[in-house]
Structure 1
Amino acid sequence: MQTTSIITCPNCGRQSAETMPTDACQFFYECKGCGALLKPKTGDCCVFCSYGDAPCPPFQEVRRRLVACCSAS
């Protein structure tokens, strides 16, 4: 499971490597460049799924279970 994601701010383009919580989704993130408060895009569970280069660990786990379930057939 990947626990680090690089968030890219849609306002200023600053990128920052951040550690993701492994047991929850993160709904807000304050950009260290421009101070913008990022929120998930519609349909995404958290800021990492919207602006990160890797989805959050809870989503990674759901995807892993789905692939394992479908592969078992």
Structure 2
Amino acid sequence: MWLESTLTCPNCAHRATEQMPTNACQFFYDCKACGTRIKPKTGDCCVFCSYGSVPCPPRQDGNCCS
């Protein structure tokens, strides 16, 4: 299971590698470059599934909320 994912901000394209929570989906993320509050695209459970290089651990494990 991958526990790190590189998020790409849809507003400014800044990339940041972050540790993902293992027991929950992360709904919000504040971009460290422009400050935009990122939320998942419609149909995705979390910001990692929408904007990350790797989906969240619950989705990787098949126990995702969506």
Q: Answer yes or no: same fold by TM over 0.5.
A: yes
Partner of 2:33: 33
- The structure richer in helix per residue is 1
Amino acid at match of 1:32: K
Distance 2:13 2:38 in 1: 12
Distance 2:18 2:55 in 1: 12
| Structure 2 unaligned spans of 5+ | none
Whichever of the two has the greater Rg, that structure is 1
Alignment coverage as a number of residue pairs: 63
CA RMSD of aligned residues (A): 1.0
Partner of 2:62: 62
Identity %: 63
Q: Which runs of 4+ in 1 moved over 2 A?
A: none
